[in-house]
Amino acid sequence: MSASEALVSTSQAKLDYWVEQCLAGEESAYVEVYNQYAGVIYRLCFSLLRHKEDAEEVLQDTFEYAFRKLHNFDPTRASLKTWLYQIAVSRCRNKRRRKWLQTTAISTFAREQVVDEGAISPDDAITLTERQLLVWNALGDLSPKLRETAILRYYDGLTYAQIGEVLKIPSKTAESRMRLAHKALKIQLTEDISSSSDS
Amino acid sequence: MNETTPGKHVGNLASDYVLGLLGPEQKRTVSRHIRECVNCRQLVSAEKRIGLLVRSTIEATGPGQAQLSSLMPESPASRPGWFSSVTIRQQVAIASIILVTFFAGFNLLSRQEIGGFSAPMSTAYVATASHTHTPTSVTSSPTPILRTSEIAALTISSSSLNQPLITPAPRPVDAR
């Protein structure tokens, strides 16, 4: 067994132990699980929704549901991370759908200028470099389906089978979406990459 | 055309190579080629950079640990044991029973207060076409109950104070 495989099996054993402790009603185990995954789930939600408050709300909702339904979690079907991703992505979709309905209703009847929800707020922009802002905007230009796939692949390095599980699509569909997303990002970011290569 | 030999340039396979979409044989061939070809190596590294940029951007948007900790929802372990074992439907049912019992008890108590401890209410009577009395309160009252005929007699007697209702008949005229 290689060192990386040993590390994975150790972390997997630790996770299994935490899940068992959670089910036994151990408060500290819930905190451990939350600390382990809250960061990645938040970033996933924020990248998908592109709205800070919405991402926080979905994060809380995801863990509230996961803690409540932990006894339904089957480790033989999916890893805990994949299961949490499934819950989070599903909630992000619902959130986006509700928001879209509200925005459409308002813009139809009031004929007002709708605020771009993808625009990052000044507080968040402070933490991003100029190049990262370009990437952020390029991600925002992707369709939600392509964005979901690209984020799961690039950010967390999920396999296409895992992406398929999370998004409830065949792995071949995940692969073709990833090709499209990569191509679109490459077109948008070509100038940025070439300029950074020159410097 | 997906076939690649060590002599051929990677071309369009660079994206698939970076995205992990090549089969094991193709992957080995491309790996061998980019070790020798500088142009293809640059092409592959440019493709890889897209993924790295996206990853670093998403990493940079994350909140601090303190903020994350403040967002942690209440865990089932912090609730009472009986609470976590009860489903939401059962919780709603229990809450409904408590509410109904509370309001029923309150209603009953308020009725008892009216009958038992509050001052007796005067009973009002309404004379209807059928001359039956209609009490507005169902509670027993210490005030004496008057019948319609007695009310009528009282009315007559009160009005007779000023003007007699029965006047004496005129004396018969003497025919003689």
Report how far residue A131's alpha carbon sits from residue A110's, in angstroms, rounded to the nearest whole number: 36
Report how many domains make up chain B.
2
Residues A70 and A148 in one domain: no
For residue A88, the model assigns a pLDDT of 95
Q: Cβ contact (<8 Å) for B77 and A63?
A: no
For residue A93, the model assigns a pLDDT of 93
Last residue of a domain, one of B11, B42, B60: B60
The answer to whether A106 contacts chain B (CB < 8 Å) is no
Are the beta carbons of B33 and B40 closer than 8 angstroms?
yes
Last residue of a domain, one of B60, B88, B103: B60
Report how far residue A151's alpha carbon sits from residue A29's, in angstroms, rounded to the nearest whole number: 28
Report how far residue B63's alpha carbon sits from residue B59's, in angstroms, rounded to the nearest whole number: 9
- Provide the whole-model pTM: 0.65
Q: Give me the CATH number covering residue A49.
A: 1.10.1740.10
Report how far residue B139's alpha carbon sits from residue B147's, in angstroms, rounded to the nearest whole number: 18
Domain with A151, as residue range(s), is 120-199
Note whether residue B18 is domain-resident: yes
The answer to whether A47 contacts chain B (CB < 8 Å) is yes
Q: Which amino acid is at B41?
A: R
Last residue of a domain, one of B60, B76, B97: B60
Note whether residue B104 is domain-resident: no
Nearest to A92 by CA among A154, A156, A47: A47
Which ipTM value was assigned to this complex? 0.80
Report how far residue B52's alpha carbon sits from residue B58's, in angstroms, rounded to the nearest whole number: 10
Paired tokens of B128: 């209807």
Q: Give me the CATH number covering residue A159.
A: 1.10.10.10
Of A26, A151, A196, the CB nearest to B77: A26
Q: Which residues of chain A have pLDDT under 50?
A: 113-115, 122
Residue of chain B whose alpha carbon sits nearest to that of A155: B55
> Which among B17, B75, B78, B90 is the top mutation candidate for probing chain A, defined by the most A β-carbons within 10 Å of its own β-carbon?
B75
Last residue of a domain, one of A84, A118, A152: A118
Report how far residue A175's alpha carbon sits from residue A164's, in angstroms, rounded to the nearest whole number: 9
Domain with B5, as residue range(s), is 1-60
B contacts of A154 (beta carbons < 8 Å):
50-51, 54-55, 58
Residues A37 and A103 in one domain: yes
For residue A56, the model assigns a pLDDT of 92
Render each residue's pLDDT in chain B as its tens digit; 176 residues: 444 545 678 888 888 898 998 989 889 988 999 888 899 998 899 889 899 999 999 988 878 888 888 888 887 766 555 555 566 677 788 888 998 988 888 787 777 665 555 555 555 555 555 555 555 555 555 555 666 666 666 655 555 555 555 666 777 766 55
For residue B61, the model assigns a pLDDT of 85
Residue showing tokens 């139809």: A108
Report how many domains make up chain A.
2
For residue B144, the model assigns a pLDDT of 59
